[in-house]
Chain A
Amino acid sequence: MIAFIARRLIVSFFVLLAATMVIYGLTALAGDPLEDLRELPGPDRDRKIADRVERMNLDAPLPLRYLTWLGNLFRGDLGVNRDGQDVAVLLGNALSATLQLVVAATVLAVVIGVIVGIVSALRQYSAFDYSVTFTAFVCFSLPLFWVAVMLKQYIAIEFNDWLRDPVIPPTVIGVVALIGGLLWGALWVGGRQARLAAFGLGAAATALTLTLLSATRWFADPGIGVALLAVLAGGTAVGITALVSGLRYRDPLYAALSAAGIGVVLSQLLDPVLADPSWLEIFGLALLTVAVCVGLGYGLGGLLRRQAIIASVLTGLITAGLVFLDRMLRGFADYSEYVRGRPIATIGSSTPNFQGDFWQTNLDVAGHLLLPTMALILISLATYTRYSRSSMLEVMNLDYVRTARAKGLPERTVVTKHAFRNGMIPITTLMAFDFAGVIGGAIVTENVFGWQGMGSLFLRGLQQVDPAPVMAFFIVSGSAIVLFNMLADIIYAYLDPRIRLS
């Protein structure tokens, strides 16, 4: 394993080195770095040109310039851009914003895409399957920048306008309820009557929820509250257990339910800690959650100890996530007032000069991340959905899945234990590829949403024929791609015991 990583790192190093050569050369040759200065009127033209020639070392031939840059890089110096700003400083500012965007989008796209793909495969040739497939094709064909501009216009601007008087018009409730009902009807297994019932109940539940949200003006000051939190956590416990071990034996269910219960109780008791925590404290709490839940699963799981541990840990983490969300939403009203009623941001990665507690700062970041992430997800989501669907379909027809059924395993176990694990193996390779695509997508998204991130660093550098910032961008993105590729290979080997890393 360690030998594998070492070898991969060495190979990757040379690959990256070669890539830097290609990019440096192409960027330096992409145009005239003095273009803007040549048209300057007045006497300081020549001086400015001379300045820049010296700063960018333009008198030296290209290979020498590259080697100088490379030499500086190994000393940890990323150089200066053409205006003399330190690229390392520029990169530092850009990096965190872009990383947040890219990582959030990738993780969400994988999780949602894989789930949708699997459900779609399990309901092959259903209305749900057809709509997912069609939607995936549309997403494949959407220009990212166009989607981003549309989101900006219709989600952010109009949603913010609507928040001033958050009443959902009855027609909207009707349409959304109809769509919700169709979704439930399409997902439900069973005869025509069962589906009709699912449609009716689903539509009614959606309509009721929306009406309540509208009537209580929930969107003006959203929050979850203890009662709703308890209901949601309990529902999560039941749902997760049903998925992990089934509800036939009660032990895992009790473990998950107690995890949910303890989470709800603690969310109230820990009020002083949660008032204004730090990320370190949040991380500690998360670890504590996992530890407590493992204990619960171990103690209460009985003969189904393994499943109980999985169910209670998942329930615990989701409950914790709900508590986190609840806390964040509590600050919503104040925050909304601060940003003059426009909580969904369309420009930049955070509100300039915003001061707030932990929750409000996160709310601010979330508000800025929302749209760019949505745009990025929309594009990768389609890929993950398609691939996991076809991978699942292929695996579900394999002999060993038939063997699993022949043993008399419940369909849940057949899918989660036998099909899912094998179906995910090819997806890991896709993850590495897609990550490179997301970085490209991030450039477009940042451009639309006016982020001062890595994308703008790259684009401005390229427009100005200034290799230093372009190379800084590439060093980060190229390393990230290499690391992601390696990570994918390691996951691959972990999932498939036939592969040995060497």
Chain B
Amino acid sequence: MAISAQVPGAAQGMTVVARTQSQLVRRRFFRHRAALIGMLVFGSVVLLAFSSIGFGPVPGWWDKSYLATGSVLDQGRPTLSLVPQFLGGEGIRWGEHPFGQDNIGIDYFALTMRGTQQSIIVAFIVGIVATTVGTLAGAFAGYFRKKVEAILMRLTDVMITIPVLIIAAIVGRSFGDSGIVILAVCIGLVTWPTLSRLIRGEFLSLREKEFVEAARALGTSSRRIIFRHILPNTVGVIIVSATLAIANAVLLESALSFLGVGVQPPDVSLGQLIDTYRSAMTTRPWLFWWPGVFIIAIALSINFIGDGLRDAFDPRQTRVRA
């Protein structure tokens, strides 16, 4: 598939039907099978998490709460069964407690759904905050050079010597009990430097391009050049890195919560569930399995979406067709 790009003579000679950039991007994205499956999986997870137990004042279709304790049935074993009877299983069945119960009888499905909601919210806030700050910082540094750049780059130099997990853990320790939104914003505010380097690189190469030169010659203001001329051209890089930042934030949040410096009770997140029940691995493995499965499902599907987007925006990159 990528051959046309490798044949110098053949590729140049083809006259291609004119398509707009966004049409091309959409077309390439929808041809990326893994990304489509990723979209589907991620969409289903979001739908399941938010529709089942509801969100805020909106009730969901699942009748059990993630707060209510109850009597533990069948040692809290999951009642979900996906193996049909003719294959020797127990038939496809949802049951009373599909994901089982924890030791005080809380329905684990409801709890996992709550954790999924929270983890998705945290990941998106982290991703969006980090991308916004990173983009602005990178854009200003890449365009203005000199002082602004020097300051911003020294700042990112400092941040790069600090592993992300360390700084996030320190911030998490401070803001873990102020609620997930504040926690997420704070984590976002310390994880942007890598992103800003990327955007800066992009800006550095674009600001030398002829169309920027032309805009500057026409007396266009710096702000207008940055936001109207250069930024739209970096949109591919930004979208792709935002997607990957969200995937990483899912993992980061769960790691922090697992270490006890992320989401604090009574808030629930997937990593925190694993932390709470990690000693149950040998006796009640499902308490450990379900949150893990959801973390992987979210991170993997977003990663695949990101790969599809990267392919769509930059076809030179190698692709996955899994």
Contacts and interface: CB of A to CB of B under 8 A. Distances in A.
Contacts of B281: 149, 152-153
Interface residues of B, number: 48
B174 A130 contact: no
Interface in A442-460: 443-444, 447, 458-459
A15 B261 CA distance: 26
Contact of A462 (B164, B169, B322): B169
Given A133-B320, A444-B259, A462 B162 contact: no
B317 A390 contact: yes
B105 interface: no
Given A30-B170, A137-B320, A145 B158 contact: no
B160 A436 contact: yes
A458 B166 contact: yes
Given A133-B322, A143-B254, A145-B255, A16 B161 contact: yes
Interface in B142-167: 154, 157-167
Contacts of B247: 140-141
A447 B167 CA distance: 17
Contacts of A130: 320-322
Given A145-B275, A146-B274, A157-B282, 20 more contacts: A15-B154, A27-B170, A29-B174, A137-B304, A138-B300, A141-B300, A145-B255, A153-B281, A397-B6, A436-B162, A440-B165, A444-B255, A444-B258, A459-B261, A462-B170, A462-B173, A462-B261, A463-B261, A470-B170, A478-B162
Contact of A140 (B166, B170, B292, B299): B299
A277 interface: no
Interface in A236-263: none
A319 to B, nearest CB: 37
Contact of B162 (A19, A140, A144): A19
B295 interface: yes
Contacts of B296: 138, 141-143, 146
B318 A390 contact: yes
A481 B163 contact: yes
B260 interface: yes
A162 interface: no
B303 interface: yes
A191 B174 CA distance: 61
Given A141-B251, A149-B278, A393-B318, A26 B170 contact: yes
A26 B171 contact: yes
A26 B304 contact: no
A134 interface: yes
A148 B36 CA distance: 30
A134 B164 contact: no
B169 A22 contact: no
B288 interface: yes
Contact of B303 (A22, A27, A141): A141
A474 B170 CA distance: 12
A124 B251 CA distance: 29
14 contacts: A15-B158, A26-B170, A26-B171, A137-B304, A141-B251, A141-B299, A143-B251, A143-B254, A143-B274, A143-B295, A145-B254, A157-B282, A444-B258, A462-B173
A311 to B, nearest CB: 32
Q: Which of A30, A143, A393 has the most CB of B within 10 A?
A: A143
A30 B255 CA distance: 18
Which secondary structure dominates where chain B touches chain A? helix
B158 A19 contact: yes
B259 A459 contact: yes
Nearest to A482: B161
A440 B320 CA distance: 28
Nearest to A146: B292
Interface of B: 6, 34, 154, 157-167, 169-171, 173-174, 247, 251, 254-255, 258-261, 271, 274-275, 278, 281-282, 285, 288, 292, 295-296, 299-300, 303-304, 307, 317-318, 320-322
A450 B258 CA distance: 14
Contacts of A214: none
A497 B156 CA distance: 28
Q: Which of A26, A27, A463 has the most CB of B within 10 A?
A: A26
B258 A145 contact: yes
Nearest to A392: B318
A389 B318 contact: yes
Contacts of A390: 317-318
Nearest to A134: B322
Interface residues of A, number: 53
Contacts of B275: 145
B41 to A, nearest CB: 11
Given A137-B307, A389-B318, A144 B255 contact: yes
Nearest to B168: A440
A440 B288 CA distance: 22
Interface string A145-185: 11001001100010000000000000000000000000000
Contacts of A153: 281-282, 285
Contact of B163 (A16, A22, A146, A436): A436
B280 to A, nearest CB: 11
B173 A477 contact: no
A437 interface: yes
A458 B300 CA distance: 30
Given A141-B303, A149-B288, A439 B170 contact: no
B162 A23 contact: yes
Q: Which of B282, B285, B318 has the most CB of A within 10 A?
A: B318
A477 B174 contact: no
Nearest to B261: A462
B30 to A, nearest CB: 19
A499 interface: no
Nearest to A462: B173
Given A153-B281, A440-B163, A463 B173 contact: yes
A163 to B, nearest CB: 18
B69 to A, nearest CB: 25
A197 interface: no
A142 B282 CA distance: 21
Contacts of A481: 160-161, 163
Interface string A424-443: 00000000010011011101
Contact of A143 (B157, B159, B285, B292): B292
